[in-house]
Amino acid sequence: MDELYAHETPLQVLFVTALIGGGAAWLAGGAIARTWRPFWHLAIYMALLGGAVRFVHFALFEATLLSPASYAVDTLYLLVAGTLAWRLTRASQMTTQYHWLYERTGPLTWRQRAATDEYPGKGGVNTR
């Protein structure tokens, strides 16, 4: 971490990258999923957000603005946070919007319902 964030304390990195940047990535990931945009949109937005996080490090704490290693680590963290939010939101969407087709198997996953499953709340049998 000394080479990545040479002129910053761990508290500064935690505050800017983890708290502010991670929160923005989480909100962006959820928003991208809620508007039914594909995953690759998330990657583009996280690359831009990574640049913004580096700028905040530079503006508030006089860190190195053009540090490729720090930018890569920040962006990777933002991509992980955004991906988790995107996948959590997408799993909720798929099982709520298409409840007769899909069922939730975990917080981030879903699967297609079997042909013999009953419709939730309908009392009928699924006869696709």
User: What does the pLDDT look like over 10-54, one tens digit per residue?
Assistant: 888 899 999 999 999 999 999 999 999 999 999 999 999 999 999
Q: Are 74 and 47 in contact (CB under 8 A)?
A: no
How many helical (H) and strand (E) elements, i.e. helices and strands, does the chain have?
Answer: 4, 2
Q: Let me know: does 51 contact 70? Beta carbons within 8 Å.
A: no
Report whether 49 contacts 24 (CB < 8 A). yes
Write down the mean pLDDT value for the chain: 87
Query: How far, in Å, CA of 43 to CA of 48, rounded?
Result: 9
User: Radius of gyration over alpha carbons of the chain, in Å?
Assistant: 20
pLDDT average, residue stretch 81-98:
95
Res 125 pLDDT > 60: no
**Cut 0.75: pTM above it:** yes
